[in-house]
Amino acid sequence: MAGRWEDAGVVRGFSTAAANEVLLDYVRGELARRPGLSVLDVGCGAARNAAPMAAAGAAVIGRIG
């Protein structure tokens, strides 16, 4: 039996949503102080926040679910 997060309609909204700019601004500020900062993104899904954090220079570990 498929769960809610296997439903394409539910997931689509998360995968197409914009990244959280407040979170990204915070991470960029921390990266300025601590280059190579490690970030754990719990529930990263389609990596809408994880990908930009990695692009900014963070060492990102994503955990789905």
pLDDT tens figures, 14-49: 667 889 999 999 999 999 999 999 999 988 878 889
Q: How does pLDDT run across 39-48, given as a tens digit for each residue?
A: 999 888 788 8
The range of the structural domain enclosing residue 11 comes to: 4-63
Buried b vs exposed e over 42-63: b needs ≥16 C-beta within 10 Å? eebbebbbbebbbebebebebe
Vertex 13 angle, CA 38 and 63, to 5°: 25
Q: CA–CA separation, 18 vs 48, rounded Å?
A: 7
Torsion of CA 22, 43, 47, 63, to 10 degrees: 120
Please say whether the beta carbons of 49 and 23 come within 8 A: yes
For the entire predicted model, the pTM comes to 0.75
